[in-house]
Chain A
Amino acid sequence: MKPTDLVGATPGPPFTITFDGRRLDALPGQSIAAVLWAAGILSWRITRGGGRPRGAFCGIGQCHDCLATVNGRPNRRACLVTARPGDTVTTQEGNGHAGFDE
């Protein structure tokens, strides 16, 4: 049983967002983190100290581990941001401003 079947979800047709150039199907109403999980993607941030991969952890906007760059804007909490058609999500490196202050 898939979760969408369990709750009897009948969302509108899926739309597409991209993650690091890869096209992903998204369902209306899903957060960006949920779209990534649904595609089997668990990490979309590289820590600024150890360069380690991170993704969603607390799922409710508290831990800030799921920060991603969305449509060019860094430090968005992917678990809180609702996916919209055409969104461009990219892996966030460090604090998201590495190009400016390094």
Chain B
Amino acid sequence: MPDSTSDAHRTAGASEGHELPPDAREPYDLAVIGAGPAGLAGAVTAAEHGLSVALLDSARQPGGQFYRHPAPATRAARPEALHHDWPAFADLRDRLKAGGVTCLFDHHVWTVAREAEDDWTIHALTEPPGDQQHSVRVRARAILLATGSYERQLPFPGWTLPGVVGAGGAQAMLKSGLVLPGRRVVVAGSGPLLLAVAGSLVTAGAEVPALVEASSYFRYTRHPRALAAQPRKLTEGAHHAEALLRHRVRPRTRHAVTEAHGTDRVEAVTVSRLDHEWHPIPGTERRIDCDALAVGHGLIPQIDLATALGCATRRTADGTHALALSPLQETSLRGLWSAGETSGVGGAQQAMAEGELAALAAASRLTGRRPAPLPHLRSLRRSRDRMNAFADAMAVTHAPGPGWTRWLTDETDVCRCEEVPAGRVREAVTEYGARDARSAKLLTRAGMGWCQGRVCGWAVSCLASSPDTAPTHAGAQTSAPDRRPLATPVPLGVLADLTSPDRQPASPPPASDLPPHPPTEGQPS
């Protein structure tokens, strides 16, 4: 049968050596999207409770971003050297190898369709080695969405220069590719990820002349109970702090990189002191020479697959949109569960607890049996709730202040894909009455490019949320989250084939004939 299932299974067999259980047939009981801490915990838990499980991820191996690690071909003997709490991942990976989960790696999910109450179809693009890119469908009775998050960026002059990279991006390239963006790397932005990034960079041989944090960590002390309930978080923080101390890197709080200098690549940055609203204080600018800048301002839940289905969302303490979930991790759509950063950014431990809880809830629904002793369920929920409280404290501490928009000049590109400068977005607001990111997008093309607004979306929302283009609060992004039917660029040929009765044409059109999007005609959004 030349359908997607057999193709997909061959791919699974080729990656990481996971064997397809002979009795596995679609529809799967549970399809898990995302093989990071939440998805892995969910997939192995569900399989251990007797469900047939498909696990899809865009990467070629499990781990997600937190446990991203070098490809097997690098034969890394000590991948844990760049990680905190590697044993937790090793445990999940071992349980995954024990079987029961069909692993579909290198599968980029571009949409999820709900056919009926307990009948879901996942559409994913894949490109097995030596084969052409094509779309496969995976059917399941229930879904666990564990797509994690991506980095929030606040633009500033010079941020499009080569050598300016996401803080998480520098971390990702180091963890998997074993490379550094430069020798002298300034780390800047806001949030606990910066400590981990700076710690990794110095451990891997880079010099970090400055670690620049826009918030003040002293604000954590305003949440003593949330903090005290999280000894593991404190250990993780201490782990990074120790590496930084050893390399004499001291975080400079209440400062920001407000400009990057250079012509064809970054050569230096300007660091400015910030007031409590993140306005740069004139006269405090200092220039620091560097050959790379790793920058990011926290993480944004990746919820596009769910918002396209109409799932309810909630605003997080730092102004992003996350999925609104039941106490047992179910979204507003019955049969669609979610775990990890999609419900609010809280780190790997929280993600694993949520993944397990979601899988137990799904198993209970699908089998009609209680899958775990009540005390265990209660303890999981308590632990998750404590971690949620800590995550909220973190989010409040590192929420961007409204003054960050003062870093921008009218010439600063806000949308990197479509090269839309801040001045054009401001003009859309003051001259044409745009009041939200969507109107600004339609007027300026900001957010209409390849990345689908993931990089500039938050910034454009801030610029568009107030008539005087100076939002009064970090949480000023009042508009609903973006709803986009496609979560990743899809060749037009794949969409055309959806109407064909033959689900997988013998020879799909080469994807190279088409750009990911028709760049001059916009894209569905």
The residues of A with any CB-CB pair to B shorter than 8 Å are 1-4, 6-12, 27-31, 33-34, 37-38, 42-43, 47-50, 52-65, 67, 72-75, 79-80, 82, 95-97, 101
Given A6-B78, A10-B75, A58-B150, A95:B515 Cβ within 8 A: yes
- Cβ of A63 and Cβ of B455 under 8 Å apart? yes
- Cβ of A7 and Cβ of B81 under 8 Å apart? yes
Name B135-172 residues within 8 Å CB distance of A: 150-151, 160, 162-166, 168-172
Given A11-B75, A28-B73, A29-B71, A64:B179 Cβ within 8 A: no
CA distance A42 to B180 in the complex (A): 10
B202, chain A: closest CB distance, angstroms: 10
Stretch at the interface among B277-285, B315-323, B414-422, B425-433: B414-422
- Cβ of A3 and Cβ of B168 under 8 Å apart? no
Task: Mark B160-195 against chain A: 1 for CB-CB distance below 8 A, else 0.
Answer: 101111101111111011111110000000000000
- Cβ of A58 and Cβ of B151 under 8 Å apart? yes
Stretch at the interface among B3-11, B231-239, B446-454: B446-454
- Cβ of A27 and Cβ of B74 under 8 Å apart? yes
CA distance A49 to B424 in the complex (A): 15
* Smallest CB gap from B265: residue in A: A42
* B74 / chain A contacts, CB cutoff of 8 Å: 4, 7, 9, 11, 27-30
- Interface-centre pick from A27, A59, A61 (highest chain B CB count, 10 A): A59
B71 touches which of A4, A10, A30 (Cβ 8 Å): A30
- Cβ of B173 and Cβ of A29 under 8 Å apart? no
Starting from the known contacts A7-B82, A11-B75, 7 additional A-B residue pairs (CB-CB under 8 Å) come to A43-B162, A53-B162, A57-B164, A57-B416, A63-B166, A65-B417, A72-B512
Name the prevailing secondary structure of the B interface residues. Answer: loop
- Cβ of A3 and Cβ of B450 under 8 Å apart? no
- Cβ of A43 and Cβ of B264 under 8 Å apart? yes
- Cβ of A2 and Cβ of B515 under 8 Å apart? no
| B58 proximal to A (CB < 8 A) | yes
* A29 / chain B contacts, CB cutoff of 8 Å: 70-74
| B14 proximal to A (CB < 8 A) | no
* B178 / chain A contacts, CB cutoff of 8 Å: 3-4, 6-7, 9, 27, 30, 34
- Interface-centre pick from A7, A33, A48 (highest chain B CB count, 10 A): A7
B238, chain A: closest CB distance, angstroms: 20
Task: Mark B378-410 against chain A: 1 for CB-CB distance below 8 A, else 0.
Answer: 000000000000000000000000000000000
CA distance A72 to B71 in the complex (A): 25
* B413 / chain A contacts, CB cutoff of 8 Å: 50
* A74 / chain B contacts, CB cutoff of 8 Å: 512, 515
CA distance A78 to B455 in the complex (A): 18
| B519 proximal to A (CB < 8 A) | yes
